[in-house]
């Protein structure tokens, strides 16, 4: 591989005098060998690193060991049946099904786009406020939250003045709603998945959906031939009513399930 | 000894010693040529590892174990809402990129108040003069509407089936952020045509921002480019709509889906 006349890296040493009288060390211009890399025999092995590590690193390592063991135990204790395929076959079943539902969805979008062209109004005029200001439908609920003036608290101390501006009230309402939604996984724990298993949470969800709809109605109040007070009461009463009905229905369904279970139980073990 | 490098692995000689068809020869020659330059064999090994990981023996899924497949199929559309919102997002992205060729985010051109601006005129041009432009704008708008609808329904499905529970809290929060950003996407897009409704929707936005304590004026400056609406507002909404939000939302969607991939789908009970 190498020519005989050129010295290799192995037999070239510091003491070796070069033909010009200097040494290699004196002649080098690259600053010498890197000082930070330890010789190979001092590099700690992985097990040595584990033993040596302290504090947070050590704790992390211990936890990882624990969780790995936990996984291993769960796997050995599992009663799951092992088999060759994971779930529903991706090809062709899942792909065809997804393709079908995707093309249906795209087709609906194109159909709607072609028969319902988008609205196009007058150009912007800062000088004249239109009678009806509305965002797109999906922001109606948000727009409705900005029309909560009637429940903006006023204090006698302030001579009947409102505590905060109506816009700020709307913003706080937004914050509260987003906050509650964000906190849901931390408030509702456990393994229950079906609405029937947790009628309270399902009722809360239904109430939330109805509230979004009624707030949207509040946003477009100009289109309703109802008195504003009545509309405002409905905005908050309908969600409660919807929640109560949902709760009642789900509770009844649960009773039904229990009845079924009990009947089967007593058919198997008739009372003496 | 010669200076010429010895080829320890003479692939070409090996190729010649084989008895190959023309197709095999071409394939192998190309493969060797590419591998000498890009060392694709390393990546092939990665692919092989992935193949074996994907085909591991896996435990039965919950749906299969309790034989829920037969009852589950009619819920399937509800479980595809997340995928449908991504598809609508992609459609909006493609049509939006095409609209971007013709749209001009400028309020220039209005002599008096209420005159059409350059932005408004470019929308009129898209709808009247551009080939297929009317349909293009319609598709963009409706794709956005369908995306928002799918995202909302997706959240309701996740809520009512309890799919947000441990260990999926992080993804739920990410979803809430994504919904907020989707609404911001819709809002900024709503402002762009600079029609009456756009202007006054933006006006409400500025008033809301200004009503926020402490950070209100700063937020109004940042998002709307000032306290009164004008060229600055339009450009900011435009940059938000076509540059900032696409990057942010696309990466968040990638993380969202990635977490679903890692954690597995919350199976119906």
Span of A18-27, A59-68, B177-186 with lowest mean pLDDT = A18-27
pLDDT in tens, A144-184: 998 887 777 776 666 666 777 888 888 999 999 999 999 99
Cβ contact A136–B186 (<8 Å) = yes
How would you classify the pairing of strands A154-155 and A161-162?
Answer: antiparallel
Q: Which tops the pLDDT comparison, A131 or B182?
A: B182
The DSSP 8-state label assigned to residue B18 in this structure reads S
Helix ranges (H only) for chain B are 11-17, 22-38, 40-54, 62-65, 69-72, 76-79, 81-100, 118-128, 133-160, 169-191, 196-211, 216-224, 231-239, 245-263
Closest CA to B267 of B108, B64, B26: B64
Residues of chain A in contact with residue B58, where contact means CB-CB under 8 angstroms, are 82-83, 85-87
Question: Of A106, A129, A165, which is closest to B211 when you measure between CB atoms?
Answer: A165
Question: Of B57, B168, B183, which is closest to A139 when you measure between CB atoms?
Answer: B183
User: Which pLDDT value is given to residue A201?
Assistant: 95
Please indicate if any CB of chain A lies within 8 Å of the CB of B178: no
Cβ contact A101–B190 (<8 Å) = no
User: Which pLDDT value is given to residue A3?
Assistant: 47
- Residue B63 near residue B268, CB atoms below 8 Å: yes
Cβ contact B165–A171 (<8 Å) = no
Q: Which tops the pLDDT comparison, A201 or B61?
A: A201
CA atoms within 13 A on the CB side of B213: 7
The Cα A86–Cα B83 span in angstroms is 20
pLDDT in tens, A232-250: 888 999 999 999 999 999 9
* DSSP string of B26-65, one letter each residue: HHHHHHHHHHHHH-HHHHHHHHHHHHHHHTS-EEPPHHHH
Question: Could you tell me the two tokens for B3?
Answer: 């200076």
The DSSP 8-state label assigned to residue A188 in this structure reads S
Question: Of A83, A97, A171, which is closest to B60 when you measure between CB atoms?
Answer: A83
The Cα A231–Cα A208 span in angstroms is 17
Let me know if B261 is exposed, middle or buried by CB neighbors in 10 A (0-12, 13-18, 19+): exposed
Residues of chain A in contact with residue B137, where contact means CB-CB under 8 angstroms, are 118
User: Which pLDDT value is given to residue A256?
Assistant: 83
Angle between helices B22-38 and B40-54 (to 10 degrees): 100
CA dihedral (A266, B65, A95, B167) positive or negative: positive
The Cα B148–Cα B145 span in angstroms is 5
CATH number of B67-263: 1.20.810.10
User: Which pLDDT value is given to residue A204?
Assistant: 96
User: Which pLDDT value is given to residue A119?
Assistant: 75
Q: How confident is the model over A12-25, as a mean pLDDT? A: 62
Each residue's pLDDT expressed in tens, for chain B with a length of 269 residues: 567 666 667 777 888 888 888 888 898 888 888 888 888 877 877 877 777 766 665 556 666 666 666 666 678 788 889 999 999 999 999 999 999 999 999 999 888 888 899 999 999 999 999 999 999 999 999 999 999 999 999 999 999 999 999 889 999 999 999 999 999 999 999 999 999 999 999 999 999 899 888 898 999 999 999 899 999 999 999 999 999 999 999 999 999 999 888 887 777 66
pLDDT band at residue A65 using 50, 70 and 90 as cut-offs: confident
User: Which pLDDT value is given to residue A85?
Assistant: 45
Across the strands, what pairs with B59?
A82
- Residue B115 near residue A123, CB atoms below 8 Å: yes
Question: Of A101, A108, A202, which is closest to B160 when you measure between CB atoms?
Answer: A202
User: Which pLDDT value is given to residue B233?
Assistant: 94
pLDDT band at residue A130 using 50, 70 and 90 as cut-offs: confident
Q: How confident is the model over A216-237, as a mean pLDDT? A: 85
The DSSP 8-state label assigned to residue A138 in this structure reads G
Residues 6+ apart with CB under 8 A from A30: none
Helix ranges (H only) for chain A are 24-27, 46-52, 55-77, 95-115, 140-145, 166-187, 199-219, 228-268
Question: Could you tell me the two tokens for B153?
Answer: 């329904």
Q: Which tops the pLDDT comparison, A43 or B50?
A: B50
- Residue A235 near residue A218, CB atoms below 8 Å: yes
Residues 6+ apart with CB under 8 A from B259: B168, B170, B171, B174
What is the maximum span of chain A, computed from C-alpha positions, in angstroms? 115
Closest CA to A209 of A190, A181, A173: A181
Question: Of A78, A117, A136, which is closest to B59 when you measure between CB atoms?
Answer: A78
The Cα B175–Cα A21 span in angstroms is 73
Q: How confident is the model over A261-269, as a mean pLDDT? A: 76
Nearest chain B residue to A119 by CA distance is B138
Q: Which tops the pLDDT comparison, A2 or A96?
A: A96
Cβ contact B194–A130 (<8 Å) = no
Q: Which of residues 67-126 of B touch A (CB under 8 A)?
A: 69, 76-77, 80, 83-84, 87-88, 91, 107, 110, 113-117, 120, 123-124
pLDDT band at residue A131 using 50, 70 and 90 as cut-offs: confident
Nearest chain B residue to A128 by CA distance is B114
- Residue B66 near residue B267, CB atoms below 8 Å: no
The Cα A110–Cα A116 span in angstroms is 10
Give the position of tokens 């990665």.
B46
CA angle A125, A126, A130 (to 5 degrees): 65
Domain span(s) for CATH 1.20.810.10 in chain B: 67-263
pLDDT in tens, A66-118: 877 877 787 777 766 555 544 555 566 667 777 888 999 999 999 999 999 88
Cβ contact A120–B123 (<8 Å) = yes
Distance in Å, alpha carbon of A110 to nearest chain B alpha carbon: 6
Give the position of tokens 């109802």.
A226
Residue A39 has pLDDT above 60, yes or no: no
C-alpha separations of A60 from A16, A54, B182 in Å: 51, 10, 38
């Amino acid at each position: 591989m190498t020519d005989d006349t050129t010295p290799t890296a192995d037999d070239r040493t510091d003491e070796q005098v070069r033909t010009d009288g200097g040494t290699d060390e004196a002649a080098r211009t690259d600053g010498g060998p890197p000082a930070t890399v330890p010789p190979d025999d001092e590099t700690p092995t992985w097990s040595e690193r584990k033993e040596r590590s302290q504090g947070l690193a050590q704790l992390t390592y211990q936890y990882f060991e624990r969780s790995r063991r936990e996984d291993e135990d769960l796997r050995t204790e599992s009663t799951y049946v092992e088999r060759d395929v994971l779930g529903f076959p991706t090809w062709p079943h899942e792909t065809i099904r997804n393709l079908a539902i995707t093309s249906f969805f795209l087709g609906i979008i194109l159909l709607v786009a072609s028969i319902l062209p988008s609205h196009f109004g007058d150009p912007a005029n800062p000088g004249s406020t239109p009678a009806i200001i509305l965002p797109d439908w999906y922001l109606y609920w948000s727009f409705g939250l900005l029309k909560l003036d009637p429940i903006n608290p006023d204090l006698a101390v302030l001579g009947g003045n409102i505590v905060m501006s109506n816009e700020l009230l709307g913003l706080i309402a937004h914050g509260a709603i987003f906050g509650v939604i964000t906190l849901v996984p931390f408030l509702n724990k456990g393994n229950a998945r079906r609405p029937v298993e947790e009628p309270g949470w399902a009722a809360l969800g239904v109430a939330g959906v109805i509230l979004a709809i009624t707030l949207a109605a509040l946003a477009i109040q100009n289109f309703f031939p109802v008195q504003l007070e009545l509309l405002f009461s409905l905005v908050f009463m309908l969600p409660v009513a919807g929640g109560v009905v949902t709760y009642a229905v789900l509770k009844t369904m649960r009773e039904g399930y229990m009845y079924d279970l009990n009947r089967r139980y007593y058919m198997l073990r008739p009372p003496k | 000894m010669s200076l010429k490098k010895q080829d320890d692995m003479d692939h070409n000689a090996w190729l010649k010693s084989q008895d190959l068809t023309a197709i095999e020869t071409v394939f192998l020659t190309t493969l060797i040529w590419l591998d000498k330059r890009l060392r694709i064999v390393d990546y092939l090994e990665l692919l092989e590892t992935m193949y074996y990981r994907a085909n591991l023996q896996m435990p039965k899924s919950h749906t299969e174990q309790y034989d829920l497949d037969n009852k589950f199929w009619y819920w399937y559309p509800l479980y595809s809402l997340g995928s449908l919102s991504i598809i609508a997002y992609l459609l909006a992205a493609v049509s939006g990129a095409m609209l971007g060729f013709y749209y001009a985010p400028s309020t220039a051109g209005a002599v008096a108040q209420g005159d059409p601006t350059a932005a408004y005129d470019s929308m009129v041009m898209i709808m009247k003069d551009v080939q297929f432009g009317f349909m293009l704008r319609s598709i963009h708008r409706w794709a956005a509407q369908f995306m928002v609808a799918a995202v909302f329904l997706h959240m309701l499905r996740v809520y009512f089936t309890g799919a947000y529970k441990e260990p999926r809290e992080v993804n739920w929060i990410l979803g809430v952020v994504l919904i907020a950003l989707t609404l911001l996407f819709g809002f900024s897009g709503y402002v762009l045509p600079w029609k009456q409704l756009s202007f006054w929707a933006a006006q409400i936005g500025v008033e809301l921002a200004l009503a926020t304590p402490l950070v209100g004026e700063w937020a109004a400056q940042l998002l709307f480019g000032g306290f009164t609406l004008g060229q600055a507002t339009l450009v900011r909404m435009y940059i938000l709509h076509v540059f900032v939000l696409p990057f942010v939302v696309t990466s968040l969607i990638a993380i969202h889906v990635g977490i679903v991939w890692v954690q597995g789908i919350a199976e119906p009970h």
